[in-house]
Amino acid sequence: WFAAVVSSVLSSGINAEYGGEKNGGTRTVPVQKSPRFYPTEDCKTPLKNRRVAKPTKLRGSIVPGSVVILLAGSHRGKRVVVLKQLPSGLLLVTGPYKINGVPLRRVDQTYVIATSTKVELPALPAIGDEIFKRKGKPTKNEKEMFVDNAGDNSYKISAEKVALQKEIDALVVPAVKKVDMLQSYLRSRFTLTKGQFPHEMKF
């Protein structure tokens, strides 16, 4: 790479005027100055990584519209409808919010048990991972570092999300109501009781 730099230096240049009697009037000043330091040995540049990430392979049992049991988190045990798989690989899931209080949420498929129940979903508006992105904490400059944060930094749901939730619920809830008892099924929570063993269950 050093050879490349030198050759570029020698090829390009600006003609600059210099004052002073004995300074020669004009001289070519290189556009790119040669580096002040260079390593004694040429170092290899690593090959460019051309890997493109694919979303995780969806289990065959999970399909848009399938009802799924959340296994962890604040909504554990709740039965919930899968809307689709997002480009990040996570599942986009909704209660629907009106039925069991689970909002539009992303869930990893390993934290979910797929049941054989499926809901016929109508065409839904396109949703990506962007609405779920959290805004980073504001970086404090030196003065503010010692001042106690007066503002409330807790997470507040954006109006955009609330509107999107209403829009999607308006499509999903009627589809749920069409199926007999599905609404009360989604309201109930999954739990293991005495004598129940998951390896014996058919979900």
Positions touching other proteins (CB under 8 A) are: 59, 61, 71-72, 76-77, 109-114, 189-193, 197-200, 203
Q: Is 14 left (phi over 0), alpha (psi -120 to 50) or beta?
A: beta
Which residue lies nearer to other proteins by CB, 73 or 128? 73
Q: Residue 40 Cβ, how far from other proteins at the closest point, in Å?
A: 46
For residue 112, report the phi and psi dihedrals to the nearest 5 degrees.
-145, 135
Which residue lies nearer to other proteins by CB, 2 or 203? 203
Q: Residue 201 Cβ, how far from other proteins at the closest point, in Å?
A: 9
Which residue lies nearer to other proteins by CB, 65 or 171? 65
Q: Residue 55 Cβ, how far from other proteins at the closest point, in Å?
A: 17
Half-sphere exposure of 198 (CA within 13 A, CB side): 8
Any residues with CB less than 8 A from the CB of 65 and at least 6 apart, and which?
A: 81, 82, 118, 119, 120, 121, 175
Which residue lies nearer to other proteins by CB, 125 or 195? 195
CA distance 203 to 68: 9
